[in-house]
Amino acid sequence: MAESTDATVEEKEVSSEAVSVDTDGFGASAASEEVVLDVKELQTHFTTRWGTVKAVDGVSYHVKRGETLGIVGESGSGKSVTALSLMRLVPSPPGNIVGGEVVLNGRNLLDLSEKDMTEVRGGEISMILQDPMQALNPVFSIENQVGEAIKIHQNLKGEALWDKVVDSLRKVRIPAPESRAKDYPHQLSGGMRQRVVGAIGISSAPAVIIADEPTTSLDVTIQAAYLRLLRQIQQEEGVGIIFITHDFGIVAKMCDRVAVMYAGRIVEVADVRTIFNEPLHEYTKALIGSVPKLEEKTGRLPQIEGQPPLLYNLPAGDAFAPRSTLTFTAEDAARRPPLLEVKPDHWVQLSKSSVADYDKYAHLMPAEDEE
Amino acid sequence: MTTAENVTIPGAPGVNPNADAIISIRNLRKWYQVGGGFMGFGDKIFLKAVDDVSFDIERNKTFGLVGESGCGKTTTLKLLLGLEQPTGGQIFYEGEDVSTMTKAGKAEFRRSVQAVFQDPWSSLNPRMRVRSIVGEPLEIATTMTKGQIATRVGDLLSETGLNPYQANLYPHEFSGGQRQRIGIARALALNPKVIALDEPVSALDVSIRAQIMNLLVDLQEEHGLAYLLVAHNLATVRYMCHDMAVMYLGVVQESGETEAIFNNPMHIYTNALVSAALPSHPDIQREEFLLPGEVVSPINPPPGDVFMTRTPLEVDPNHKWANERPPLVEKEPGHWVVDTPWSMAADAGLKVELTGHEGV
At B285, the pLDDT band (50, 70, 90 cuts) reads confident
Residues of chain B found within 8 Å of residue A249, distances taken between Cβ atoms: 235, 277-280
For B46-83, give the DSSP string: EEEEEEEEEEEEETT-EEEEE--TTSSHHHHHHHHHTS
**Neighbour-count burial for A203-221, b at 16+ CB within 10 Å, e otherwise:** bbebbbbbbbbbbebbbbb
Prediction pTM value: 0.85
Residue A299 contacts B, CB cutoff 8 Å: no
Give percent above pLDDT 70 in chain B: 95
Interface of A with B in 115-134 (CB under 8 A): none
Which residues, listed in sequence order, are joined to residue B21 by a DSSP beta bridge?
B58
- Which of A23, A232, A283, A295 is the best residue to mutate to test the B interface, defined by the most B CB atoms within 10 Å of its own CB? A295
Residues of chain A found within 8 Å of residue B312, distances taken between Cβ atoms: 1-2, 4-5, 18-19
Read off the pLDDT of residues B37-79 as tens digits, 9 standing for 90 and up: 666 677 788 888 899 999 999 999 999 999 888 888 999 999 9
Sheet of B45-58, strands arranged across: B45-58, B21-35, B88-93, B96-97
Shortest Cα–Cα distance, B7 to chain A (Å): 37
Secondary structure (H, E, C), chain B: CCCCCCCCCCCCCCCCCCCCEEEEEEEEEEEEEEECCHHHCCCCEEEEEEEEEEEEEECCCEEEEECCCCCCHHHHHHHHHCCCCCCEEEEEECCEEHHHCCHHHHHHHHHHEEEECCCCCCCCCCCCCHHHHHHHHHHHHCCCCHHHHHHHHHHHHHHCCCCHHHHHCCHHHCCHHHHHHHHHHHHHCCCCCEEEEECCCCCCCHHHHHHHHHHHHHHHHHHCCEEEEEECCHHHHHHHCCEEEEEECCEEEEEEEHHHHHHCCCEHHHHHHHHHCCCCCCCCCCCEEECCCCCCCCECCCCCCHHHHCCCCCCCCCCHHHHCCCCEEEEECCEEEECCCCCEHHHHCCCCCCCCHHHC
Q: Is the pLDDT of residue B4 over 80?
A: no
Interchain pair A291, B210: CB under 8 A: yes
- Alpha carbon distances (Å) from A295 to A276, A287, B284, B357, B359: 15, 17, 9, 9, 11
CB-nearest partner of A291 from B206, B259, B350: B206
Q: What is the DSSP letter of A136?
A: S
Residues of chain A found within 8 Å of residue B280, distances taken between Cβ atoms: 248-249, 252, 291, 293-295
Question: How far, in Å, CA of A7 to CA of A370, rounded?
Answer: 59
DSSP three-state, residue B251: strand
What is the structure's pLDDT at A136?
Answer: 86
Question: How far, in Å, CA of A42 to CA of A78, rounded?
Answer: 11
Interchain pair A221, B214: CB under 8 A: no
Shortest Cα–Cα distance, A128 to chain B (Å): 20
Q: Is the pLDDT of residue B112 over 90?
A: yes
Interchain pair A290, B262: CB under 8 A: no
CB-nearest partner of B355 from A1, A219, A295: A295
What is the structure's pLDDT at B360?
Answer: 38
Residue A362 contacts B, CB cutoff 8 Å: no
Residues of chain B found within 8 Å of residue A252, distances taken between Cβ atoms: 278-282, 284
Nearest Cα residue to A173 out of A128, A134, A229: A229
Q: Describe chain B by its helix, strand, coil percentages, rounded to 5.
A: 35, 25, 40
Secondary structure (H, E, C), B157-188: HHHCCCCHHHHHCCHHHCCHHHHHHHHHHHHH
Read off the pLDDT of residues B294-335 as tens digits, 9 standing for 90 and up: 667 778 787 889 998 888 898 888 999 989 999 999 999 989
Read off the pLDDT of residues B329-360 as tens digits, 9 standing for 90 and up: 999 998 999 999 999 988 888 888 887 665 43
Interchain pair B291, A74: CB under 8 A: no
Shortest Cα–Cα distance, B191 to chain A (Å): 25
Read off the pLDDT of residues B287-296 as tens digits, 9 standing for 90 and up: 778 787 766 7
Interchain pair A19, B350: CB under 8 A: yes
- Which of B206, B275, B295 is the best residue to mutate to test the A interface, defined by the most A CB atoms within 10 Å of its own CB? B206
Residue A41 contacts B, CB cutoff 8 Å: no
Read off the pLDDT of residues B233-279 as tens digits, 9 standing for 90 and up: 899 999 999 999 999 999 999 999 999 999 999 999 999 999 988 88
Nearest chain A alpha carbon to B353? A295
Read off the pLDDT of residues B76-103 as tens digits, 9 standing for 90 and up: 999 999 999 999 999 999 989 999 999 9
Nearest chain A alpha carbon to B271? A221
Residues of chain B found within 8 Å of residue A302, distances taken between Cβ atoms: 210
What's the whole-number average pLDDT of chain B? 88
Interchain pair A247, B206: CB under 8 A: yes
CB-nearest partner of B280 from A223, A252, A302: A252
Nearest chain B alpha carbon to A16? B292
Question: How far, in Å, CA of B132 to CA of A177, rounded?
Answer: 56
What is the structure's pLDDT at A16?
Answer: 38
Residue A223 contacts B, CB cutoff 8 Å: yes
The complex's ipTM works out to: 0.82
At B2, the pLDDT band (50, 70, 90 cuts) reads very low
Mean pLDDT for the stretch of residues B4-25: 79
Nearest chain A alpha carbon to B210? A303
- Note down pLDDT in tens along chain A; length 371 residues: 344 444 433 333 333 333 444 444 454 566 677 889 999 999 998 888 878 888 888 899 999 999 999 999 887 788 888 888 988 888 887 888 888 899 998 889 999 898 888 888 888 898 887 666 678 888 999 999 988 888 888 888 888 899 989 988 988 888 888 888 999 988 887 778 888 888 888 888 889 999 887 777 677 888 888 888 888 888 888 899 999 998 888 999 999 999 999 988 999 999 999 999 999 999 999 999 888 888 888 888 888 887 777 777 777 788 888 888 888 888 888 888 888 899 998 999 999 888 888 888 888 888 765 44
CA angle B345, B360, A273 (to 5 degrees): 125
